[in-house]
Structure 1
Amino acid sequence: MRREERALAAVPVARHGSGNAHEIALARKESPHRGRTLLGLGKALMAEMPHTLARLRDGTLSEYRAQILVKETACLSREHRMFVDEELCADRAALMGLGNRALNAKVRRLAVEIDPSAVVERSRRAEADRHASVRPAPDTMGYLTFLMPIPQAVAAYAAVRAAALAARAAGDSRSLGQLMCDLALARLTGLPDTGSPEQAPAVPVTLNLTMAASALAGGHAPATLTASGIGEEVLPAEIARLLASRAISTGVGAWFRRLHVAPLGGLVAMSARQRFFPPVMAEFLSIRGAGICSTPYCNAPIRHYDHIRSFADGGSTDVINGQGLCEACNYAKQVNRWRQRVTSDPGDRHEVETITLTGHRYISRVPEPPGWREPRFRETHPGFYALTS
């Protein structure tokens, strides 16, 4: 239906399907990435894998296991894919007792037997998908991941391990894991290795540590930590104070900014009249949204700063009309002409309503600021309530 609408509107063919996955993701209450995966799954099941669809309908296959079948046959031609579908899923008894790993291996073996050249070509193309990513881990840690061909991955790991073993043999007191991590950091950043077993080397990078003033002075309200490319990590106040003091004591530098919280939980800031969000305002939007895209159910980091009511329609460039979005969600909003409006009062926590072309409405609300709790009301006398602290 969306493709037909865009064809009639003379939208370029390449953009006929733009944003459909985002609309599916909203309806499913899942991330846009998951929406794209589900859209691809649905297309494959409807057009090329009827037996897998039948097994999904009768409960023999879960959605995840159906996805294994679709993923492992994606490199095959339509005819070969339909053959695998019939071979594995025409008889539901053939799937009984197969675990996910066994099912994956069985599908892959069939694909290699039918068309080994297609599997080889898929492996060759996979090299183009190499990339690096970072995501938070518990206790103020993080995962730095490099996806690369296995020969290069093994070579990189072996080089760092060999250097760590040599340092251990020379008397370094750090564990092998600590050494490998610290040496990899030194090689990637060019910073000197400090040699401390208790503390990782200091690095020049901007982290946003947001905490209540009472917590900074010794209170117990939790803080949040965000950085470019990753979402928020909740920290105990003691660890937040330790990070702040360590930044000062190591000479890396620390800057303090005040964020004012209204009684109903909204972060208060001054507005501007620029077309583009200035750096300080963009940083505020990122802190307010905990570094995560404002689209409901999307967990991607903020990449774009967007006008909720577009600038062309008279929308102002201020923190009330601003939001942080990932790149894909910003483009999806523009292509699909979704309507958005702010539904919160200026002093409340920022809330945005998104209305899709089908008329469905979705609400996104920024996380509560550190140290703030939802207000409670008590009945002072019949029919009258007062706000309690």
Structure 2
Amino acid sequence: MSDPTVADLASWAAALAGLDAPGDSATDIPDAARIDLLRGLERLKGAVDAAQHRLAHAFEESQRAEQRHAGVPEQRVGEGVALQVALALRESHQRAARLLGAARVLCTEMPQTLAALSEGRINEWRAMLLVRETACLSEEHRRTIDEKIAGDDDVERLGTKHLVSSAHHLAARLDSAGVAERQRLAERDRRVTIRPAPDTMSYVTALVPVADGVAMYAALKRHADAAAAAGDGRGRGQVMADTVVELVTGRSTDVPPAVELQLIMTDRALLAGDDEPAHLPGYGVVPAEWARDLVGRAASATTAWLRRLYVLPGGRSLMAMDSRRRTVPAGLAAFITARDLRCRTPWCGAPVRHVDHVQPHRDTGTTRAHDLQGLCERCNHAKEALGWSSRPRAGPVHTTETTTPTGHRYLSFAPLLPGDDEAA
């Protein structure tokens, strides 16, 4: 059988899109056949995942060889490869980099795991767990675990926890010192992260050594139990959450925090008093009523800053700011960050870390809002690799066009203002 083409894949996708579509007669496909199809599709998903890993690894090797041939310094070989894969998959740069790392391992060190994935005996998540749990081992030990677990027919019967525990057991037996060293090194990755949650809430997560985590949770639980015994009307979870906020910020949860609200306003919001959503840095879009309530409470207890950014009448894009300087002034950088909200690389979504010239300043790029974009650090470095180019494009919404080394072109649009559909 010849290798499938892009047209073949599109045809298969179209055929699957019509499988048991809503509106079909419930008797067209017997339920027993539906179960068989579900299993068959899961096997197909494994084969597709394995094919993606093989293709990604082959693409990376080809791009690295091409960069070396072009004289790229060895320390920069490989730059931009993950971003090309990310754009093709409509994924973030970080996730594509992880996929390339896993693909390299599967294709060069864990052939049995790759085969089990190709045959649908394990799914992609379990294959990634085997890659992760053997990361601290030598290639020889990794191949041993690959053979004993993924090479065994029984791997299809293993649940996720059993699979991981089997890998742990073998890794500790083969290289106990290496496993211990990995656990020591893991402490270097301790960190605190934040991500949005529904209804103007957020998840603040601390990754700490297990002993510290258990001790922290036990202390918070004791404090919550004592508060409940003293007649505190809050629930245990509420007391624990409030205690964390109070200990970290040094203020009572009854006192609103100092906050900067970037209220991105249309002409109607400015002149007619419409309720437009606000943008809270570090979180995202919040309802206008919630923002007004926060500012109102903050005004009597602490400091609140309001930054109002306006759009052109009847439009959905923020107005431009100019500068003759090569480096981006702080005010203009704040404007670009507010306009773009997230990294402008399509499907990335990471926080803006660099305000970047769309077209390099050395190539006549100017330091104006139209010629600038917000990028994460990883994407900004990647676009400097061999064969990449980008330029701004004219239009009512700030638009950039990026061309990859393979000639693929991707458009990036500044986010449209939420709740302003009438102005489109």
The interval holding the TM-score normalised by the smaller chain is 0.7 to 0.9
Deviates more, 1:27-36 or 1:7-16: 7-16
Q: Any idea what SS the aligned residue of 2:369 has?
A: coil
1:29-178 matched pairs, under 5 angstroms: 29-91=90-152, 93-178=153-238
Give the C-alpha shift of residue 365 in structure 1: 1.3
Counterparts of 1:359 and 1:76 in 2: how far apart (Å)? 39
The question of whether the paired residues in 2 share the 8 Å contact of 1:315 and 1:321 is answered with yes
Q: Any idea what SS the aligned residue of 1:250 has?
A: coil
Supply the AA of the counterpart residue of 1:226. L
Structure 1: segments with no counterpart, 5+ residues:
377-389
Counterparts of 1:363 and 1:74 in 2: how far apart (Å)? 37
The question of whether the paired residues in 1 share the 8 Å contact of 2:92 and 2:349 is answered with yes
Give the C-alpha shift of residue 149 in structure 1: 0.5
For 1:179, the equivalent position in structure 2 comes to 239
1:117 to 1:80, Cα distance in 2 relative to 1, 3 A? same
Give the C-alpha shift of residue 164 in structure 1: 4.0
Q: Any idea what SS the aligned residue of 1:267 has?
A: coil
For 1:328, the equivalent position in structure 2 comes to 378
For 2:316, the equivalent position in structure 1 comes to 265
For 1:242, the equivalent position in structure 2 comes to 293
Give the C-alpha shift of residue 301 in structure 1: 0.6
Counterparts of 1:109 and 1:180 in 2: how far apart (Å)? 36
For 2:346, the equivalent position in structure 1 comes to 296
Counterparts of 1:88 and 1:186 in 2: how far apart (Å)? 48
For 1:204, the equivalent position in structure 2 comes to 258
1:372 to 1:126, Cα distance in 2 relative to 1, 3 A? same
Supply the AA of the counterpart residue of 1:32. H
Deviates more, 1:276-285 or 1:9-18: 9-18
More helix per residue: 1 or 2? 2
For 1:281, the equivalent position in structure 2 comes to 332
Note the alpha carbon deviations across 1:31-81, whole angstroms, 9 max, x for none: 111111111111111111111111222222322221111111111211111
Counterparts of 2:159 and 2:185 in 1: how far apart (Å)? 28
Q: Any idea what SS the aligned residue of 2:308 has?
A: coil
Counterparts of 1:344 and 1:60 in 2: how far apart (Å)? 51
Deviates more, 1:125-134 or 1:333-342: 333-342
For 1:352, the equivalent position in structure 2 comes to 400
Counterparts of 1:155 and 1:316 in 2: how far apart (Å)? 54
1:6 to 1:262, Cα distance in 2 relative to 1, 3 A? farther
Give the C-alpha shift of residue 26 in structure 1: 1.5
Counterparts of 1:47 and 1:14 in 2: how far apart (Å)? 22
The question of whether the paired residues in 2 share the 8 Å contact of 1:49 and 1:82 is answered with yes
For 2:85, the equivalent position in structure 1 comes to 24
Q: Does 1:366 align with 2:420?
A: no
Normalised by the length of structure 1, the TM-score is 0.84
Give the C-alpha shift of residue 167 in structure 1: 4.2
For 2:362, the equivalent position in structure 1 comes to 312
Counterparts of 1:269 and 1:248 in 2: how far apart (Å)? 30
Q: Any idea what SS the aligned residue of 2:204 has?
A: strand
Counterparts of 1:274 and 1:254 in 2: how far apart (Å)? 27
For 2:11, the equivalent position in structure 1 comes to none
For 1:381, the equivalent position in structure 2 comes to none
Counterparts of 2:233 and 2:262 in 1: how far apart (Å)? 32
Counterparts of 2:302 and 2:121 in 1: how far apart (Å)? 60
Supply the AA of the counterpart residue of 1:40. G
Q: Any idea what SS the aligned residue of 1:353 has?
A: strand
Counterparts of 2:85 and 2:214 in 1: how far apart (Å)? 39
1:231 to 1:241, Cα distance in 2 relative to 1, 3 A? closer
Give the C-alpha shift of residue 95 in structure 1: 2.3
Give the C-alpha shift of residue 264 in structure 1: 4.7
Counterparts of 2:234 and 2:150 in 1: how far apart (Å)? 53
For 2:13, the equivalent position in structure 1 comes to none
Note the alpha carbon deviations across 1:148-205, whole angstroms, 9 max, x for none: 10111222233333344444444544333222222222222223x25x4xxxx31223
Structure 2: segments with no counterpart, 5+ residues:
1-61
The question of whether the paired residues in 1 share the 8 Å contact of 2:263 and 2:309 is answered with no
Instruction: Give me the CA root mean square deviation.
Output: 2.4
Normalised by the length of structure 2, the TM-score is 0.78
Counterparts of 1:328 and 1:75 in 2: how far apart (Å)? 25
The question of whether the paired residues in 2 share the 8 Å contact of 1:342 and 1:351 is answered with yes
User: Sequence identity of aligned pairs in percent?
Assistant: 43
Give the count of matched residue pairs.
362
Counterparts of 1:98 and 1:210 in 2: how far apart (Å)? 52
Counterparts of 2:261 and 2:236 in 1: how far apart (Å)? 28
Counterparts of 1:211 and 1:62 in 2: how far apart (Å)? 47
Give the C-alpha shift of residue 319 in structure 1: 1.1
